[in-house]
Amino acid sequence: MKKTVLIGKTALPEWEITGFVEYIAGGPQPGGMFFPVAHGVHAVRLGNEATISQKLEVKPGSLYALTFGASRTCAQDEVLRVSVPSQSGDLPLQTLYNSFGGDVYAWAFVAKTSQVTVTFHNPGVQEDPACGPLLDAVAIKELVHPIYTKGNLVKNGGFEEGPHRLVNSTQGVLLPPKQEDLTSPLPGWIIESLKAVKFIDSKYFNVPFGHAAIELVAGKESAIAQVIRTSPGQTYTLSFVVGDAKNDCHGSMMVEAFAAKDTLKVPHTSVGGGHFKTASFKFKAVEARTRITFFSGFYHTKKTDIGSLCGPVIDEIVVSHVA
């Protein structure tokens, strides 16, 4: 190690590095920069074309989700490329979902072999060599393929199965849109939007049911969907819970739900108290597959921290036959 620069491909224990990789401490830096390190004290900064990678033992055919803390160092566009062999995704770090920059992301993949190499890569060419994405925590979890539960045509309707939540993070986990991750880290669901949605847990957020829920943090750019099996001409009921996470997100919220040719707009006035209510509507299936979609009608930021995006919470999504 030369000052903060890691020298040699094995300089970072358990990882293999290529290119310019710095081992930095969070906080103010020489030259007036500030490095946000939300999880712990240290992080690595990936310079142009730099990578860090690690080999992992996995089960072929199983679904895995990586969880990692990542943030940008400069205001210009920065991208973090995450990959395993034959699968990769580019996560733009330009959008800050909270004001201090310590966002946590998930990225999922299906293992093709018994050993995979997970690589984090900075593919950009920043004008300023002091720029480049920061990584400050990495975890992996094997996910359970979702199954149907009795009386519900929706898989993982309570969002109980999802990526690992970092122990020292209170921010929830951002789930990137399908354009950036073909394999959803939220089993059963498609992140069908331009921006991420947030996977939140009951330890730090108000969750209506169980241990987890979804917060729609980027307005109409934040949407989730699932394709369910239906019988054409059959009528179904779609019910779900709408509320707020008791995380300083105030205002007039609106969740819009779509199923076949029917829609429902559910208003929720949040005072940040963690209140929620159940909504439902009937729809008639047109085809053997029906897409159900949810998104937030408005954009919201926290009342005392306007740099942090937030939004309505949805949970406990159920589709059932109407007798």
Alpha-carbon distances of 72 from 1, 44, 102, 298, rounded to whole Å: 23, 12, 9, 26
User: Tens-of-pLDDT digits for all 323 residues of the chain?
Assistant: 566 766 768 878 899 999 988 887 765 566 656 666 665 667 888 888 899 999 999 999 999 999 998 888 776 778 899 999 989 999 888 777 776 667 899 999 999 999 999 999 998 766 777 788 888 889 999 999 888 888 999 999 999 999 998 776 778 999 999 888 888 999 999 998 888 999 999 998 989 999 999 999 999 898 999 999 999 999 999 999 999 999 999 999 999 999 999 999 999 999 989 999 999 999 999 999 999 999 999 999 999 888 889 999 999 999 999 97
Residue labelled with tokens 């995979």: 116
Predicted pLDDT at 182: 82
Cα atoms in the Cβ-side hemisphere of radius 13 Å centred on 235: 4
Which residues does residue 306 pair with via DSSP β-bridges, in sequence order?
none
Predicted pLDDT at 36: 62
**Domain boundaries of the chain, sorted by first residue:** 16-143, 173-321
The class that CATH gives domain 16-143 is mainly beta
Most distant CA pair in the chain: distance in Å?
Answer: 71
Alpha-carbon distances of 284 from 209, 230, 234, 319, 320, rounded to whole Å: 27, 9, 6, 12, 12
**pTM exceeding the 0.85 threshold for the entire prediction:** yes
Tell me the CATH architecture of domain 173-321: Sandwich (2.60)
The SS3 assignment for 220 reads helix
What is the residue type of 102?
A: G
Cα 201 from Cα 170, distance rounded (Å): 9
DSSP annotation of 183: B
Count Cβ neighbours within 10 Å for each residue of 229-244 and write b for 16 or more, e otherwise. Answer: ebeeeeebebbbbbbb
CA 320 to chain centre: 28
10 Å Cβ neighbour count for 209?
15
Count Cβ neighbours within 10 Å for each residue of 180-207 and write b for 16 or more, e otherwise. Answer: bbebbbbbbbbbbbebbbbbbbeeebbb
Count Cβ neighbours within 10 Å for each residue of 247-267 and write b for 16 or more, e otherwise. Answer: bebbbebbbbbbbbeeebebe
Same fold yes or no, 16-143 and 173-321? yes
Q: What angle do CA 63, 68, 72 make, to 5 degrees?
A: 135
DSSP annotation of 218: S
DSSP annotation of 156: T
Cα 238 from Cα 283, distance rounded (Å): 8
